A and B are shown apart, each in its own frame.
Chain A
Amino acid sequence: DGGITQSPKYLFRKEGQNVTLSCEQNLNHDAMYWYRQDPGQGLRLIYYSQIVNDFQKGDIAEGYSVSREKKESFPLTVTSAQKNPTAFYLCASSMSVSQPQHFGDGTRLSIL
């Protein structure tokens, strides 16, 4: 089945540690996105990529980094500089920015 796979489903981070969240899609979509959602809040855009080897900062990029070396993959690294990383992280993809996005099941990140 075509879709977006995020892993792991749950992740725990220790102080000072970088962690990487995986996002893979087999929909042949050009655009991919990372969002953060805090309890009772809307989606906030972290980074997005419209094509391979290119990405732009979203509204809350500080403390995060991404890469887009392959069309199918858009991993997100939560660095130790992100002081409040506990949240629900959602990856999405779309044919283009003007087309609807399809979401993965999300990764819940918590601090140990």
Chain B
Amino acid sequence: QKEVEQNSGPLSVPEGAIASLNCTYSDRGSQSFFWYRQYSGKSPELIMSIYSNGDKEDGRFTAQLNKASQYVSLLIRDSQPSDSATYLCAVNNRERSGGYQKVTFGTGTKLQVIP
């Protein structure tokens, strides 16, 4: 089982709709969860961090965390063509050996917002 899993997509939504991006993780001890957006050919940029169960809203973005079910999701309301990008989920976890904490990225979900 991969440590962090995302559906690669592409996820296509019409402009103005809600886009829902999902991510599951395997380490029950994970405490920090991040969503990044990456445009083609560019570096990732942070959208949101979430650390406790429930919803966290920031403008058109809402992150949802459910630690019992080991999933984290990102909702994008009123999707715009400029939201078309790959969305990366990242989760901190412990190395199996050594006990160091590190962050593992999912492979990303490609979102296409159709005008």
Q: Write the residues of chain A forming the contact surface with B, with a CB cutoff of 8 angstroms.
A: 33, 35, 41-43, 45, 48, 50, 56, 58, 90, 97-106
Complex formed: what's the CA distance from A14 to B48 in Å? 40
Q: With contacts A99-B32, A101-B103, A103-B45 known, what are 6 further pairs, Cβ within 8 A?
A: A33-B103, A43-B44, A45-B103, A102-B46, A105-B42, A106-B42
Complex formed: what's the CA distance from A43 to B31 in Å? 20
For the complex, is B25 an interface residue (Cβ under 8 Å from A)?
no
CB distance from B63 to the nearest CB of A (A): 12
A42-B88, A43-B88 are contacts. A97–B102 as well, Cβ < 8 Å? yes
Q: Can you show 14 pairs from A to B with CB atoms below 8 A apart?
A: A33-B103, A35-B105, A45-B102, A45-B105, A48-B102, A56-B100, A58-B102, A97-B103, A98-B92, A100-B46, A101-B34, A102-B46, A104-B43, A105-B42
